[in-house]
Amino acid sequence: MPVEWQPQSQQWHLYNGRLSVVLAVLESGSLGQLYLGPPLEPDRDYRHLARGPFAGYANRVGEPIRFELPTPDSGDYRLPALAVRHADGSQVLDLRYGTHRIATGKPPLAGLPSTYTEDAAEADTLEIDLVDAVSGLMATVRLTIFRDHAAIARSVTVRNDGSTPVRITTLMSASLDILDGGWELISLHGAWSRERHVVRAPLIPGRRVIESLRGSSSLEQSPFLALVRPSTTEDAGEAIGLSLVYSGDFLADAQVDQFSTVRLRLGLNPDSFQWVLEPGAAFTSPEAITVHSTVGLGAMSETFHRLFRTRLARGEWRDRSRPVLINNWEGTYFDFDEERLVAIATVARDLGVELFVLDDGWFGRRDSDDRSLGDWVVDTRKLPNGITGLAQRVTSLGIGFGIWIEPEMVSADSDLFRGHPDWAIGVPGRPRTESRQQLVLDMGRAEVVDYLYAALEAVLGSAPVSYVKWDMNRTMTETYGLALPPERQGEMRHRYILGLYELYSRLVERFPHILFESCSSGGGRFDAGMLAYAPQAWTSDDTDAMERLRIQWGTSLAFPVSSMGAHVSAVPNHQVARMTPLATRAAVAFFGAFGYELDPVAMGPDERAQVAAQIAWFKTHRETIQGGRFLRLQSPFEGDGNDTAWMCVTDDARHAVVGWYRELSRPVPGPRSVRLRGLDPATRYRVRVWPDVDDTLVRRNALVRGGDELMSAGLFLDDGARESAIRGDFQARLFELEAI
């Protein structure tokens, strides 16, 4: 049994041979964390690990006791994982162990996305009930350990079994107390067009905060963080990763106290969340995933990748290769009609594209971004035969048809807003702040969700649609729910997200054959919550190959390659005006859900030939890239950041693809090599390079090399003397490895 309960020592041990978590009932009756780390032997007593610097736990305040669910105002002066206001205004909770249950499998979280099992034998779940006798509040901590992953899923349900209402003011999905402070914190930060850049800094006494208060997980910060040892690298050292399966406001923080112990928290952001629990009512937190690795950041990421790809994403598209697509946004913006779109689709089809995606501008009177959101009715000026007519013409070319929507928004200039001004979020008597000239619909209201479901069901049901890009292009202001009483206004942001999940669930269920891609001004809602509905996300509006190296590298810390929408676009790049070779743009976008975002009609014969070759190359390697292991080799965030390298390798290590990129050309670079990973040391591989711009380079690399050599001495990128083969800025090389 991977969850072991020892009644004598009042200890639980969750173990799967990859990691161990030990909890125990402390002398005070509260639930203590004893251990999280590399696997420990089962059937042993670990109670002595509960020790802090002082002996005993009763009648003392301020001790660095490791609590599973710390609460405020009772002598633990660190930040709480659960805080409430009782009806009398007090905050004290004395949560003591009541009972527990151990079961195989993993229960779903009602209304919330979560990881799952396909077979109950894949996981075991421990639920521990903690009770505050005075108020009657019960908190159930739910921990699932997966058989095949070094990961633990955790959520908490709070139930009011008392007789007066209780207001939850803080509820964290994960709270980890770690005995020593010798760690560095890795988090992902960014902006529009610069999402998820890696920031790594030592922990120092006090508090580091990563959060969103924008109503979504945000472009700026991500609901993910990792603790690593200063010596931890991609392939060595300890790493603890935390990811929140949630798409709204979040808080992640690390607090280092006077004993140098660390409390790490991740959950709903208490600054924008409160929830009133009437007697008998319950509230469940989103799920947090904790991953542990003893062999570096790479293994931590691989655990997230595999878990999210196979047991968070779901539906028909989960295990399927993603179609090579063309999206018309950067090719046409709002300026299109049926003929122009069909011309794009036709050329793209001839080059090997498998899906055409119609982006923004097909509905209402949407000639610019200042109107018509909410009016999900086709604009017959542009598309006289409707979505049905266009989709039929596109699919008759033998490729799929996809469409862009932005359901959660409404333009002030729209029939929807004119008919239902009260559906847009705002505080009565105050102006609403517009952003991109749009307002946010109150997704917490059932009638709004019902309207959107009916409107979108009509569009998606009217034509052979096999792909939907679901956008969300503004953050929240003046958060107020007209349907909520004053004391429940603190629930608004979370109710919005629950309504969003409800709409997603209904549409995904109604159209199981549709591949959904989430989007929020690029990667502004790229989080584990979204992956449960949309197995891929538009990684960034920035399609420049050099910018994408950093964005895709950072994103890969927590998310699989198959989830990262990545497109080749025209130059000068529309976001940064950089000129990069077409081959380089493809070599970066290959490591994702690959596609094009340009007007192929405008391309000359040479470019078209290159694109056709790129698509052919990608189709050959798609399985290895989207279904294999993704391993980071050389970071654009380290050193001078000029070189980046990563690779994908099949589970059986028979095939691999290495991407290597150089930003700027430098004189006298010397021989460069990169050490590969994940190969079989005893196997010999045939190495080929792409593109074959230089025959010598091709010949040199069409050699046979041992897996041991490639992982220890490395793959030589340019071989010094042949540096001329890769001169110039913004260069890329792809190496294909095939086991002999």
Binding residues for ligand GLA (CB under 6 A): 329, 359-360, 369, 404, 471, 473, 519, 521-522, 538, 541
Does the annotation mark 471 as catalytic? Answer: yes
| Cβ–Cβ under 8 Å, residues 277 and 166 | yes
Question: Which of 383, 403, 416, 504 has its CA nearest to residue 461?
Answer: 403
Structure tokens at 424: 């847009």
DSSP letters for 151-172: EEEEEEEEEE-SSS-EEEEEEE
DSSP strand pairing (684-690 vs 731-739): antiparallel
Report d(CA 257, CA 136) in Å as an integer.
31
Closest CB 578 distance from ligand GLA, rounded Å: 18
Alpha helices in 313-376 (DSSP H): 329-332, 338-351
Neighbouring residues of 691: CB distance < 8 A, sequence distance ≥ 6: 583, 734
**CA 597 from centre of chain:** 22
Of 340 and 654, CB closest to ligand GLA: 340
Closest CB 559 distance from ligand GLA, rounded Å: 17
Report d(CA 147, CA 149) in Å as an integer.
6
Of 252 and 357, CB closest to ligand GLA: 357
Catalytic: which of 124, 375, 471, 544?
471
Catalytic: which of 359, 541, 544, 718?
541
Q: Classify the C-alpha dihedral 620-645-557-705 as positive or negative.
A: positive
| Cβ–Cβ under 8 Å, residues 546 and 578 | yes
Q: Which residue's entry shows tokens 């005075």?
A: 134
Closest CB 473 distance from ligand GLA, rounded Å: 5
Closest CB 188 distance from ligand GLA, rounded Å: 18
Of 452 and 658, CB closest to ligand GLA: 452
Report d(CA 593, CA 331) in Å as an integer.
19
Closest CB 437 distance from ligand GLA, rounded Å: 12
Neighbouring residues of 19: CB distance < 8 A, sequence distance ≥ 6: 36, 37, 38, 39, 150, 151, 152, 292
DSSP strand pairing (400-405 vs 467-470): parallel
Of 359 and 736, CB closest to ligand GLA: 359
**CA 617 from centre of chain:** 27
Of 217 and 731, CB closest to ligand GLA: 217
Closest CB 379 distance from ligand GLA, rounded Å: 14
DSSP letters for 411-469: ESSSHHHHH-GGGB---TTSPPPPBTTEEEB-TTSHHHHHHHHHHHHHHHHTTT--EEE
Closest CB 667 distance from ligand GLA, rounded Å: 39
Closest CB 208 distance from ligand GLA, rounded Å: 29
Report d(CA 456, CA 466) in Å as an integer.
14
Report d(CA 299, CA 308) in Å as an integer.
14
Closest CB 524 distance from ligand GLA, rounded Å: 8
Report d(CA 641, CA 576) in Å as an integer.
18
Element (H, E) at 300: helix 297-311
Structure tokens at 523: 């990667």
| Cβ–Cβ under 8 Å, residues 197 and 550 | yes
Of 268 and 519, CB closest to ligand GLA: 519
Of 129 and 517, CB closest to ligand GLA: 517
Structure tokens at 124: 């075991």
Report d(CA 371, CA 434) in Å as an integer.
12
Does the annotation mark 249 as catalytic? Answer: no
Closest CB 464 distance from ligand GLA, rounded Å: 21
Of 234 and 375, CB closest to ligand GLA: 375
Structure tokens at 457: 């069901």
Closest CB 136 distance from ligand GLA, rounded Å: 48
Angle between the 605-627 and 582-589 helix axes, to the nearest 10 degrees? 20
Of 547 and 723, CB closest to ligand GLA: 547
Q: First CA to last CA across the chain, in angstroms?
A: 41
The CB-nearest residue to ligand GLA is 360
Of 373 and 717, CB closest to ligand GLA: 373
Report d(CA 117, CA 102) in Å as an integer.
16
Of 71 and 521, CB closest to ligand GLA: 521
Instruction: Please count the other Cβ atoms lying within 10 Å of the Cβ belonging to residue 665.
Output: 14
Rounded to 10 degrees, the C-alpha dihedral 498/499/502/506 comes to -170
Active site residues: 471, 541
